[in-house]
Amino acid sequence: MQLQFLYVPVADLTSAVAFYRDELGWEEAWRESDDTVAFAVPGSSVQVMVSTAPGSAGPMYEVDDLEAFLASHPSVPRRGDTSEIPDGRVVELEGPGGNAFHVFDQVDAASGA
């Protein structure tokens, strides 16, 4: 389980992109469709992922296999269903204090499919 992103949901992607790019001076790392942009955080391998997709703000951890992770942690509360993402799946979970965190895999990318 490795921290890859900090997920930041926003209502207005254009304003959010302007903030991270122009105000903070961060470089765009990648973009997915018209709803998600990730920024490289200087001095860190973790990226900030800004998106208009639904969900709660929180860390996003990558695992080798999401279904295996969920099966081995059955008592961790889910905040929704598993969703498809490019090359994998993601689910929002609930940690201590009601804080959200997200776990995802990139199974298709890892297999080259």
How do beta strands 2-9 and 58-62 pair? antiparallel
CB 2 within 8 A of CB 44: no
Stated pTM of the model: 0.88
Kindly report the backbone phi and psi dihedral angles of residue 99, in degrees, each rounded to the nearest multiple of 5, phi listed first. -75, 140
**pLDDT tens across 53-99, in order?**
889 999 999 999 999 999 999 999 999 999 998 889 999 999 999 99
CATH 3.10.180.10 fits 1-52, yes or no: yes
DSSP letter, residue 27: E
What is the per-residue pLDDT across 23-63, written as a single tens digit (0 to 9) for each? 999 999 999 989 999 999 999 999 999 999 889 999 999 99
Same fold, 1-52 and 55-113: yes
Domain ranges of the chain: 1-52, 55-113
CATH superfamily name and code, 55-113: 2,3-Dihydroxybiphenyl 1,2-Dioxygenase, domain 1 (3.10.180.10)
